[in-house]
A and B are shown apart, each in its own frame.
Chain A
Amino acid sequence: MAKPLPAFADAPCRSSSALRGLRITFSGLLCLVVVLMVGLAALNSEANLLFLLFGISVGVVTAGAVGPVFMVRKLEIERVAPAAVVAGRSFSLAYVIRTRRRWFNSWSLTLGEVPVGRRTVRFPLAFIEVLRPGQPHRVELSCLLPARGRVRLSGVRVWSRFPLGLFACCVDVDLPGELIVYPSVGRFRRDPWRDRRTADVPTQREGRRQRIETDEFYGVREYRPGDNLRRVHWRRSAHAGQLVVRESTPTRIQQLIVIVDPWPEVEKPGPAAAPPPARWLPRIRRRLVSFFRRKDGSKAGPWPAESVERAISLAATAICDALERGHRVGLIARGKVPVVIAPSSGRPQRLRLLHELALLEADAGEGLDKLVSRVRWAGGWRGRCLLCATRANSTHSHVVRFLAARAESVTAITCDSDVADAIFEWSPEGLNEAGPADADRPATPRRPRKSHRGEAAARTSAGAPAAGGPGP
């Protein structure tokens, strides 16, 4: 039998005073009714034993009301959170709590983040049975945030229902902060830049493509499913107790420009292709469906949120993979605030790119072709270009043509296509080093529904000029 969480656990109201945060629970209400009935029975029958029992019950109820207030007073809480985390991968969130009292323990404390507005992100709760004075208590929670973005943290809510659960007292400790949630990082099933024969990403200029040599030792890392067994460092594996593989870097530093367009412009059909005017009933139905889809937040605009996240995740994966191989990576992202980051390499560049991808927002105004045409790199467009989009449209064709004339190669991928599925694996197993934060329990993001994938694949194969196909 588990009690439900108290109602104030999700309430956005704030009470920094312990007395104001005192609430009676449902059990307490029932107990109070029983105690009052015993009191009335004592008064009616003048039975002294009932008077005695009533008095003791009043004492117990009073102690039950004073207890929670006493437990949550004089607490100091410190949140230890990483600056950034990866969506879909667990991270550790720690609290250090101590009491300023010198004599008495604090029992049955429950900690949780204060909900901000109608935020759907929920953090796990921590339960501390006893907090002794003078001994800071550190509690670590394994958290998981499903979506990228910025999560604002306003404070920590502490409540206690000690000793009997009749009353609960809740206080909010102001601890403002924020978490940047990077997009989830997957893995490539095979090296898209190296194995041209097996890659499903045909490029335009095969003659220019150079084979990536991995002849320079870079370091070792643990084995991930799919790694070449010839790369296993057996001696180090025996020493570490787990499989460890060698990593190599190409001798020649490549450059990769990742262009992300998660929310492509919706093309208006021409007058010839315009569908016949719908009857009034289907039209109303379509409007209602679109209205409710927008309202529940699952689909912002005509692009499924999952497809958008897949596109961004695909870009993040490509960025991490290329940076891991020592390439210079740049980013052009179309969003509410257009992002243009010059190619560079190294860990700071990876954090910067992931940060921008994490904060990428919809409501784009400027077209992607205009954005790309305005970009002037110091080193020019040499190197490879990767265009990740939710769906392909004519703008992307223009962009591919524009880049094909300048870059070494151009690869355009729509995230729901079979091509993307062939080279990109969503399960981020073994990508511990890809994310900036410690991630020891990866989780698999949802795959898009078959209808979406089917739709995307159908459109891709139907002749979208640049989606998965060779550029001009």
Chain B
Amino acid sequence: MRTRHDFFYEQAAVLLAVVVPLALAEDEWWYLSAVIASILAGFVTRIAGIRPLLGPVASRIFVLAAFVFLLYEYISLGVIPVIALSHFMMLVCVSKFLSERSLRDDAQLAVLSLLLLVVAAIVSGNVIFLVVLLVALTVGLAMLIRFNLALERACVERFNATLRTGGSAGAIGPERGPPLPRAATVSIGSFAVVVGILVFAFFPRVGAGMFGRMDQRGSGPAATGFSNEISFDTIGPISESERQVMRVKIEAPAGRAAEGEPMYFRGRVYDFYAPRAPRSWEWQRSGPRPPAMTFSLADSLGRDEPLLLLPELGTLEDLPVYVERYQLEPGTMPEGLLPSRYPPLGLAGVGSEEIETVSKSLADQNLRVLGRTPSKLLCYTLYTGLGDDETVIRALGDEREEVMGFLWRHPRTQPPVLPPEAEAGIRALIAPLMAEAGPLSRPENRERFAGLVADYLRSERFTYTLSPPPPRPGDEPVSRFLLETRRGYCQHFASAMVVMCQLADVPARLVSGFRCDDFNRMGRFYSVRGKHAHAWVEVYIRGKDWIIFDPTPMSNQSSIGAAGWLKRLRSYGDFLQFQWATLVLTYDADTRQELLGRFKEWLLRPAAKEDTLLGQVSAFVRELFTWRMVMSWQDRLLYWVFALLIVSLVVLIGYVAAVLSARGGRRAWRWYVSRWPGAGRTGDAGLYDRFCRRLADLGLRRRPEQTPAEFAADLAARFPPLAPAPGLVNAYYEVLYGQRSLSPERRRSLEDFLARLHGLDRAALG
């Protein structure tokens, strides 16, 4: 039947669209392959007209196996429940495609597609989800509408069959599927999109999860539930932190400044940036770690005096220090690390009893917590020799250089642990370079020495390769690279340069990060990808601060690969993804406020000089018709669209108000009429109503058992001024029951009687 085929195609399209972002987010492509294979198998069975591949029993066994797999994933593999559930639903969909035979299967597929859509919204952060929404709102919506029509038809047919009428209803005719209500689909889809955008834009954000507000505060808005692909608000501090020794090195294209453009981290690149996975050059050491200075904090608890982390300083009072107070909430603290500015000199007032000792790494100057990460609020005061605050730097003056020199002399007391023969070999390598550079006590010679080392490593003696010889157990990798293999990649070159500089008493450090030169001109941002991962060296030169040296031979080559239409296509994709991430994924209350502010500013441009609302409106209207301002045709078109929208809204509100008022008025009128019988009547019959109202004012009311004629006769007998009352009632009877109209003379006489009655009071009646 045609309808069933239509359902099949539409469901296949919707399910494929939903499964793709799930597979992309999880990197589990075999589920997608299974779904595609089942769809193809179902299609072939339909085309060939053979029975489904899975019978009812086999289908149930399949679903049971999928459920067992769900438990296995959740219990044994520790897969997140939502993900495991989505795997289960995908396998059930596979079963349905292999055994689909009734409308019930179609309904189950539709429900599963809807639930998978929810999971995709949770997991995915890719722009493909936009495509999924488009498919769901077009093909999916049409399928649901058509499906509901088929269900209604089946429902009526089944009901009629139970009546044993011997035939179905006349309208339920051929086995042809219901027509596709395109207009209805488009209308509903458009309406849903508008409502969705409004809810998305204006739904209140509380800044943290509703249920996890207490323990998740300060963690920042999540772009998506599980994907930490991007979070711009944390990139800046990390990339600028000296503590991390991780950076993104932007190499701007020619003619463009590298400052000020946003960076966009793609894929799993950001994972390397996560604070829980710090990189420093010490990882390269396969030998014993350099000793760390460990301090017990038990004595510092409750004391204001700082614990001196560098005993050689003597006392902090002799040094210009910068004091910072940190307050870390649980969950925000990097694992094992205490955030601090560089270099840390003293520590005091650690407010958490869970920290007993802290150590300072002599390699990267990081403060580390020994033991587990505190789970409570942690407060401490840090004394640093340098701060980023310009006032502090200015206050330090010349002594800043001294402090820095002292600090970098200090690691020399703990030189890199190298095998003696390796250290001797490296010293032999750097000896001619030191001689060529001159005395290293002078900053310019140090810079020259670093340059010579970088040139030496970039020379033809060394070969850049992504597949260096594998390390041998027990060998020190840097000395092996320098003295034996001379083949490696960026981290080998950078580590070798750091070791060579430090053996020559030149402060140097390894920087891991990304060397980014992929600038998207359309969106004006830098794309940072996994292939941009790089390592380089920073050397401290007195008077010039840290200077970047890149000893890797291939570093001056651009990472941008293909050119032409492929590059342009990729650029469009990056732009779409960037806009999706910027406008949708990271949309929050601040963004909304900013957008509203920009919209208000744009809207009130013609009325910038007006203070009152009326003046602003009149200025806006004048601008619409007089074109006083100079603006583009797009702006002017948008002004008109906005004005027409406002007018439509006002008309709509007015219409609704008018309809409601009319209904209310009719109800009030009916209530009034019901309260005063005959109050609404006009014409000849209204004379009797007026007569009754006047009598009611005089305190004379007809008893329930009285007819109007009896009432009038009674009145005429009791009150002489009311003698014409029977005549009025007779006229009323003639009008009401005889369908006659009164003659003008008779009506006039009755009007006179009513006028006289209005002039009477109860006393005059007698």
Residues of A bordering B, CB below 8 Å = 1-5, 34, 38, 40-60, 62-63, 67, 90, 94, 104-105, 107-108, 110, 122-130, 137, 139-144, 161-165, 441, 443
- Which residues 639-690 of B sit at the A interface, judged by CB distance below 8 A? none
Binding-face segment, B196-204, B399-407, B414-422, B593-601: B196-204
A203, chain B: closest CB distance, angstroms: 39
Q: How far is the CA of A108 from the CA of B158 in the complex (A)?
A: 16
Q: Does B617 contact A (CB under 8 A)?
A: no
Given contacts A55-B203, A59-B196, contact A3 B124 (CB under 8 A): no
B595, chain A: closest CB distance, angstroms: 14
Contact B203–A51 (Cβ < 8 Å): yes
Given contacts A47-B121, A162-B148, contact A67 B137 (CB under 8 A): no
Q: How far is the CA of A21 from the CA of B426 in the complex (A)?
A: 90
Given contacts A1-B103, A48-B585, A60-B188, contact A127 B165 (CB under 8 A): no
B66, chain A: closest CB distance, angstroms: 21
Given contacts A59-B195, A108-B148, A129-B149, contact A48 B224 (CB under 8 A): yes
Listed by A's residue number, 19 A-B pairs whose Cβ atoms lie within 8 Å are A1-B107, A2-B157, A45-B209, A46-B208, A46-B222, A47-B121, A48-B223, A48-B584, A52-B200, A55-B197, A57-B196, A59-B199, A60-B192, A67-B184, A105-B184, A108-B149, A123-B163, A139-B171, A144-B166
Closest chain A residue to B145, Cβ basis: A163
B160, chain A: closest CB distance, angstroms: 4
B284, chain A: closest CB distance, angstroms: 39
Q: How far is the CA of A155 from the CA of B554 in the complex (A)?
A: 87
B134, chain A: closest CB distance, angstroms: 11
Q: Of A2, A51, A57, A128, which one neighbours B171 at CB under 8 angstroms?
A: A128
Q: How far is the CA of A57 from the CA of B115 in the complex (A)?
A: 12
Q: In the complex, which residues of chain A have a beta carbon less than 8 angstroms from the beta carbon of B766?
A: none
Given contacts A56-B133, A110-B152, A165-B151, contact A48 B586 (CB under 8 A): yes
Contact A139–B169 (Cβ < 8 Å): yes
Q: Is the interface of B mostly helix, strand, loop or mixed?
A: helix
> A125-B159, A130-B181 known; 4 other A-B pairs, CB under 8 Å?
A48-B584, A54-B199, A62-B195, A122-B163
Among B156, B193, B197, B198, max chain A CB count under 10 A is at B156
A367, chain B: closest CB distance, angstroms: 39
Q: In the complex, which residues of chain A have a beta carbon less than 8 angstroms from the beta carbon of B183?
A: 104-105
Contact B170–A140 (Cβ < 8 Å): yes
Contact B148–A46 (Cβ < 8 Å): no
Q: In the complex, which residues of chain B have a beta carbon less than 8 angstroms from the beta carbon of A137?
A: 171
B21, chain A: closest CB distance, angstroms: 10
Q: In the complex, which residues of chain A have a beta carbon less than 8 angstroms from the beta carbon of B197?
A: 55
A394, chain B: closest CB distance, angstroms: 41
Q: Residues 182-216 of chain B: 1 if any A CB is under 8 Å from the residue's CB, otherwise 0? A: 01100110011111111110010111111110000
Q: Residues 119-158 of chain B: 1 if any A CB is under 8 Å from the residue's CB, otherwise 0? A: 0011011000100010001000100110011011111111
Q: In the complex, which residues of chain A have a beta carbon less than 8 angstroms from the beta carbon of B155?
A: 2-5
Q: How far is the CA of A45 from the CA of B585 in the complex (A)?
A: 12
Contact A124–B169 (Cβ < 8 Å): yes
Q: Of A40, A110, A443, which one neighbours B156 at CB under 8 angstroms?
A: A110
Contact B159–A124 (Cβ < 8 Å): yes
A172, chain B: closest CB distance, angstroms: 18
Q: How far is the CA of A47 from the CA of B585 in the complex (A)?
A: 8
Q: In the complex, which residues of chain A have a beta carbon less than 8 angstroms from the beta carbon of B103?
A: 1-2
Q: Does B507 contact A (CB under 8 A)?
A: no
Given contacts A55-B197, A56-B137, A56-B195, contact A50 B122 (CB under 8 A): yes
Q: In the complex, which residues of chain A have a beta carbon less than 8 angstroms from the beta carbon of B137?
A: 56
Among A48, A67, A162, max chain B CB count under 10 A is at A48
Q: Of B118, B148, B165, which one neighbours A161 at CB under 8 angstroms?
A: B148
Contact B198–A1 (Cβ < 8 Å): no
Q: Does B432 contact A (CB under 8 A)?
A: no
Q: Does B288 contact A (CB under 8 A)?
A: no
Q: In the complex, which residues of chain B have a beta carbon less than 8 angstroms from the beta carbon of A5?
A: 155, 159
A89, chain B: closest CB distance, angstroms: 10
B281, chain A: closest CB distance, angstroms: 37
Q: Of B114, B125, B166, which one neighbours A142 at CB under 8 angstroms?
A: B166
Closest chain A residue to B192, Cβ basis: A59
Q: In the complex, which residues of chain B have a beta carbon less than 8 angstroms from the beta carbon of A41?
A: 118, 122
Contact A52–B133 (Cβ < 8 Å): yes
Q: How far is the CA of A441 from the CA of B133 in the complex (A)?
A: 52
A308, chain B: closest CB distance, angstroms: 22
Number of interface residues of B (CB under 8 A): 77
A115, chain B: closest CB distance, angstroms: 13
Q: In the complex, which residues of chain B have a beta carbon less than 8 angstroms from the beta carbon of A108?
A: 148-149, 152
Q: In the complex, which residues of chain B have a beta carbon less than 8 angstroms from the beta carbon of A130?
A: 179, 181
Given contacts A46-B221, A48-B587, A163-B181, contact A53 B149 (CB under 8 A): no
Closest chain B residue to A94, Cβ basis: B170
Among B153, B163, B586, max chain A CB count under 10 A is at B163
Q: How far is the CA of A431 from the CA of B179 in the complex (A)?
A: 41
Residues of B bordering A, CB below 8 Å = 102-104, 106-107, 114-115, 117-118, 121-122, 124-125, 129, 133, 137, 141, 144-145, 148-149, 151-160, 163-172, 178-179, 181, 183-184, 187-188, 191-200, 203, 205-212, 221-225, 584-588
Q: In the complex, which residues of chain A have a beta carbon less than 8 angstroms from the beta carbon of B165?
A: 90, 124, 141-144
Contact B151–A56 (Cβ < 8 Å): no
Given contacts A110-B156, A129-B179, contact A163 B148 (CB under 8 A): yes
A33, chain B: closest CB distance, angstroms: 13
Contact B153–A62 (Cβ < 8 Å): no
Q: In the complex, which residues of chain B have a beta carbon less than 8 angstroms from the beta carbon of A47?
A: 121-122, 222-225
Q: In the complex, which residues of chain B have a beta carbon less than 8 angstroms from the beta carbon of A46?
A: 205-209, 221-222, 588
Contact B166–A90 (Cβ < 8 Å): yes
Q: How far is the CA of A283 from the CA of B167 in the complex (A)?
A: 47
Q: In the complex, which residues of chain A have a beta carbon less than 8 angstroms from the beta carbon of B210?
A: 40, 43-44
A18, chain B: closest CB distance, angstroms: 14
Given contacts A2-B103, A127-B171, contact A55 B148 (CB under 8 A): no
Contact A49–B191 (Cβ < 8 Å): no
Q: Of A1, A34, A129, A142, which one neighbours B167 at CB under 8 angstroms?
A: A142
Q: How far is the CA of A46 from the CA of B207 in the complex (A)?
A: 8
Q: How far is the CA of A44 from the CA of B208 in the complex (A)?
A: 7
Q: Of B158, B169, B221, B222, which one neighbours A126 at CB under 8 angstroms?
A: B169
Contact B193–A139 (Cβ < 8 Å): no
Contact A127–B172 (Cβ < 8 Å): yes
Q: In the complex, which residues of chain B have a beta carbon less than 8 angstroms from the beta carbon of A123?
A: 163
Among A4, A50, A56, A105, max chain B CB count under 10 A is at A56
Q: How far is the CA of A161 from the CA of B205 in the complex (A)?
A: 35
Contact A129–B178 (Cβ < 8 Å): yes
Q: In the complex, which residues of chain A have a beta carbon less than 8 angstroms from the beta carbon of B586?
A: 48
Closest chain A residue to B137, Cβ basis: A56
Q: How far is the CA of A445 from the CA of B649 in the complex (A)?
A: 64
Contact A441–B224 (Cβ < 8 Å): no
Q: In the complex, which residues of chain B have a beta carbon less than 8 angstroms from the beta carbon of A105?
A: 181, 183-184
Closest chain B residue to A53, Cβ basis: B121
Q: How far is the CA of A125 from the CA of B160 in the complex (A)?
A: 7
Contact B163–A52 (Cβ < 8 Å): no
Given contacts A1-B104, A90-B165, A127-B152, contact A59 B122 (CB under 8 A): no
Instruction: List the 9 shortest-distance A-B pairs measured between CB atoms, nearest first.
Output: A55-B199, A59-B195, A59-B192, A55-B196, A1-B104, A56-B196, A140-B170, A49-B121, A2-B154
Q: In the complex, which residues of chain B have a beta carbon less than 8 angstroms from the beta carbon of A62?
A: 191, 195
A355, chain B: closest CB distance, angstroms: 24
Q: How far is the CA of A130 from the CA of B115 in the complex (A)?
A: 30
Contact A55–B198 (Cβ < 8 Å): yes
Closest chain B residue to A140, Cβ basis: B170
Q: In the complex, which residues of chain A have a beta carbon less than 8 angstroms from the beta carbon of B151?
A: 1-3, 165
A79, chain B: closest CB distance, angstroms: 14
Q: In the complex, which residues of chain B have a beta carbon less than 8 angstroms from the beta carbon of A94?
A: 170
Q: In the complex, which residues of chain A have a beta carbon less than 8 angstroms from the beta carbon of B118?
A: 34, 38, 41, 50, 53
Contact A164–B144 (Cβ < 8 Å): yes
Q: In the complex, which residues of chain B have a beta carbon less than 8 angstroms from the beta carbon of A34?
A: 114-115, 118
A97, chain B: closest CB distance, angstroms: 10
